[in-house]
Every structure is written in C-alpha cells, then in structure tokens.
C-alpha cells in the first residue's frame, strides 16, 4: 500500500553539479526535507554526467524554459533556476494555498532552536492548517533570505541572523519572545496570512549579501589578521626564511637582491598557501551543508585544535626553559633537510625565489597547516563563500607580513642576529599560538 501511495506522489526533478558548492545547500536542505516528508517523488541528476546534461536539455524543451543558474528544479510544469528562486517558489508549489505561514530560522546545534521546534510541533496539532517553513541559517542562501526579511520587517541589524527567530505576517519573535500563548495570539490574528517569503521586495534581496559582507568587514577582520600573523610568526616559517637569507648572504648577494628574493619567496608561498586554502575550503563547504557532517567535522577539528593548544602550551613551557629541541610542534628533521636541499638546489635567480617558495611552503605545511586548517573549517562553517574567500585572502596577506619584516631586517642585521632575536621571543610565540588554538577550538564548539 505504501509503495502505491509513493507512486501517486507528484514527481520532482532536481538537476545539480557535483562541482557546485551552493547546490548542496538546496540538496541537503529543502530537497532532502521534501523527500523525507514524502511530499513528492524526488529524482536527482548530476549534470557533470553527459547523459544527465542531455536529459536537462530535454526537460527545458519540454517545459519551454531556460536559465543560467544552477541548481534547477522541474516540478508541476515549472522550471526553477538557482537557490534564490527555488527557495522562494518551491515551497508554494509543494504546499499550495496555506492558511497561515510561519517562517522559522534555526541552525543545527542550537539548543534553544530544538525547544522552539518542539513548541511548533505542538502548536501545529492545535492548528492543522498551519504551515511551518524551517530554514537553517548555516546555509548561504538562507542567510541572504534572513537578512532580506529582517530588513524588510525592521528587525534590528544585530538580530537579523539570530536563532531561533520566528516570522509571522509582519511580526517577528526572537529567542525568549517565542512563547506558546503569544504564538497562538498571532496565529488567530492572521488566519489567512499570505506567503511571507514571496512578499520580500527584490531590492531587499539584492542588498542582503552586501549588508552581511559589510558587517564582516566591520567586525571580523581583526581576528583573521591576528590568526594570520600568529601563523606567520610560526618558527617553521621563520627558520626556513632565515636559512634562505643566510644562504644568499653566503653566496655574496647584495642587500637589494635579498629584498627582491624575499619578495619572490613570499609570492611563491602565497600562491601555494592560498591555493591550498581554496582547495580545502571548497572540499569542506559541501560537507558543511550537511548538518550531520558539519557537526562531525566541527567537533573533530575542535578536538584537534584543543590537542594542538595543549601541545603549544607544553612547547611554551619548554621554550621558557631553553629546551627548544624537545618541542613537539615543529618540522621533523627530515623535512627540514629537504627544505634546505631545495633552497641550495634552486640557486639565487629571481624566478628561483618563487619556485623555492612554492616547494618550501608545501613541505612546511605539516607545521604551518596546524593553524590554517582549523581556521578554514571555522570559515566554512560560519561564512558566506564570498566572505570566506576574502577572509582567506586577508589571512594569507597577514601570514606574509612577518616574512617581509624578517627579510627586510636581514638587510640591516645579520641572519644570526635576526635568528637570535626570534629565538629569544620563541616562548611568546608559543603562548600566542596556544591562545589562538584555544580560541579556534571554542569557536568551533560554539558555532559548529
């Protein structure tokens, strides 16, 4: 009987690309909900497969529709293109003519949201015509809708992406304001509410992303710069650069050439490090779209960050006692020898500085990546993609600042003097690294 009922459900066709990060927001969001609630028979196609792309073109001819954005949904004679259109129009096609609509913004791991979810389940039994749209603010497309809806209804800017939040008609309730009796009063006052998400004017949607990024620039840049700087004063990076400069001095290069080669070396490191960061972010972003996987990765990297915090504090104690050789967070000897070999092999040409930077940054990533990867995980779990790429750029520029300072200092002082100063400050570096790992771990636990 159940199988027969499933065949009677309307068919929904979902086309996406496995290389498209934001497609997973829809796949693991509204499409997964529709399939779980058995509102439609869902058919999913990855258009990176040739036969599926041909099928998409056949559907566009059949439905007489076309568009440039992905993912794409075909349902009840309609073609919907892109996250925004799907989130705005698909709920109305799945649940036609609702009597009353509540938009509930939540996020995985939010204890208060779980309580509000139970409240809404209870109140729906009393009002069977009630339609509840639950949106996860961890998804990029939902952040934009939340910002646009909040501005449209006059929600204070610092509360627009707060969870839990409920919208009903022109009223919003945030956190402690969400009470059973208050919600009943609003439902009875709006028995025939129109679909709220369709009422948001386009100009509010267009401004939403700009507003979110504006708040990021005002509030989030300093911690990212600090993380990059602390990673940049990592002894792994400094030891390599000092050896490089000392080797150039041994070859008798002028100070102007040392500056040029320091810049070339930094360019090579930036290309390699930024590429690694983008690759890691694009790998993690689709996984972070799945609440279960996001929780696993966030908790896993939080535990990793706490372990590194403990090791950094242990290294800090060793550094204070001048027992640097016993420290735990450092490059293995065989990698150090490989780096020194590459530096000697490439010589002292301009282009060799870039090549050396590329090779050395990959080899020393075993050490510098200890801060980088947990930071990328944090970005992937909390930011819009555009913001995360900007954050990666800022992080990598900050990471290079100490390298430039050391390179320029080497034109004034000897490499032994520079190295001696850095070794004297090693305990401070380890203490800062401990605090950074501790902060990243706590943020991943809170926000993941």
List, for residues 54-93, the tens digit of each pLDDT value: 999 999 998 888 888 999 999 988 899 999 899 888 887 7
Tell me the per-residue pLDDT of 287-297, one tens digit each, with 9 for 90 and over: 655 556 667 76
Are residues 148 and 179 both part of a single domain?
yes
Are residues 236 and 278 both part of a single domain?
yes
Domain span holding position 56:
1-95
Task: Give the per-residue pLDDT at 439.
Answer: 73
Of 187, 204, 219, the last residue of a domain is: 219
**Two tokens, residue 84:** 């925004």
Number of structural domains found in the chain = 3
Are residues 187 and 329 both part of a single domain?
no
Q: What CATH number does the domain containing 181 carry?
A: 3.40.30.10
Of 66, 95, 124, the last residue of a domain is: 95
Mean pLDDT, the chain, as a whole number? 75
24-57 burial code (b ≥16 CB/10 A, e <16)? bbbbbbbbeebeeeebbebeebebeeeeeeebbe
Are residues 129 and 256 both part of a single domain?
no
Q: Report whether 229 contacts 398 (CB < 8 A).
A: yes
Are residues 121 and 52 both part of a single domain?
no
Q: Report whether 245 contacts 415 (CB < 8 A).
A: yes
Are residues 209 and 71 both part of a single domain?
no
Are residues 305 and 365 both part of a single domain?
yes
Tell me the per-residue pLDDT of 338-370, one tens digit each, with 9 for 90 and over: 655 655 555 555 666 777 777 666 666 655 555
Q: How far apart are CA 185 and CA 179, in angstroms?
A: 10
Of 173, 199, 219, the last residue of a domain is: 219
Are residues 71 and 120 both part of a single domain?
no
Are residues 28 and 151 both part of a single domain?
no
Are residues 151 and 213 both part of a single domain?
yes
Are residues 228 and 306 both part of a single domain?
yes
Predicted TM-score (pTM) of this structure: 0.49
Are residues 178 and 298 both part of a single domain?
no
């Amino acid at each position: 009987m159940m199988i027969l009922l499933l065949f009677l459900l309307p068919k929904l066709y979902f086309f996406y690309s496995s290389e498209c990060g934001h497609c997973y927001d829809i796949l693991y969001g509204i499409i997964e909900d529709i399939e779980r609630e058995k509102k439609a028979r869902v058919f999913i196609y990855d258009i990176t497969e040739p036969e599926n792309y041909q099928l998409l073109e056949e559907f566009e001819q059949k439905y007489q529709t076309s568009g440039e954005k992905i993912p794409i949904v075909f349902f009840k004679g309609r073609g919907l293109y892109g996250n925004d259109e799907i989130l705005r129009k698909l709920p109305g096609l799945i649940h036609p003519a609702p009597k009353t609509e509540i938009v509930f913004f939540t996020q995985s791991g939010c204890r208060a949201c779980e309580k509000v979810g139970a409240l809404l389940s209870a109140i729906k039994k009393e009002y069977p015509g009630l339609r509840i749209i639950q949106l996860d603010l961890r998804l990029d497309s939902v952040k934009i809708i939340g910002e646009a809806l909040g501005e449209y209804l006059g929600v204070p800017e610092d509360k627009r992406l707060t969870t839990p939040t409920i919208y009903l008609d022109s009223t919003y309730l945030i956190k402690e304001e969400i009470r059973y009796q208050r919600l009943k009063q609003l439902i009875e006052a709006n028995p025939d509410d129109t679909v709220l998400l369709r009422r948001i004017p386009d100009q509010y949607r267009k401004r939403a992303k700009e507003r979110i990024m504006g708040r990021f620039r005002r509030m989030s840049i300093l911690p990212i710069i600090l993380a990059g700087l602390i990673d940049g004063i990592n002894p792994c990076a400094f030891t390599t650069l000092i050896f490089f400069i000392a080797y150039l001095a041994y070859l008798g290069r002028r100070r102007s050439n040392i500056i040029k080669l320091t810049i070339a070396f930094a360019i090579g490191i930036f290309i390699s490090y930024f590429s690694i960061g983008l690759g890691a972010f694009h790998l993690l972003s689709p996984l972070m779209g799945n609440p279960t996987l996001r929780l696993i990765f966030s908790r896993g990297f939080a535990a990793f960050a706490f372990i590194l915090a403990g090791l950094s504090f242990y290294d800090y104690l060793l550094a204070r006692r001048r027992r640097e050789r016993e420290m735990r967070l450092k490059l293995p000897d065989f990698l150090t020898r490989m780096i020194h070999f590459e530096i000697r092999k490439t010589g002292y040409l301009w282009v060799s500085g870039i090549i050396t930077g590329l090779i050395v940054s990959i080899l020393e990533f075993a050490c510098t990546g200890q801060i980088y990867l947990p930071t990328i995980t944090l970005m992937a779990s909390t930011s819009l993609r555009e913001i995360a790429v900007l954050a990666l750029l800022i992080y990598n520029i900050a990471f290079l600042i100490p390298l430039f300072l050391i390179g320029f200092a080497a034109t004034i002082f000897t490499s032994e003097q520079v190295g001696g100063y850095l070794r004297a400050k090693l305990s401070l570096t380890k203490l800062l690294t401990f605090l950074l790992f501790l902060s990243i771990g706590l943020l991943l636990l809170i926000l993941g």
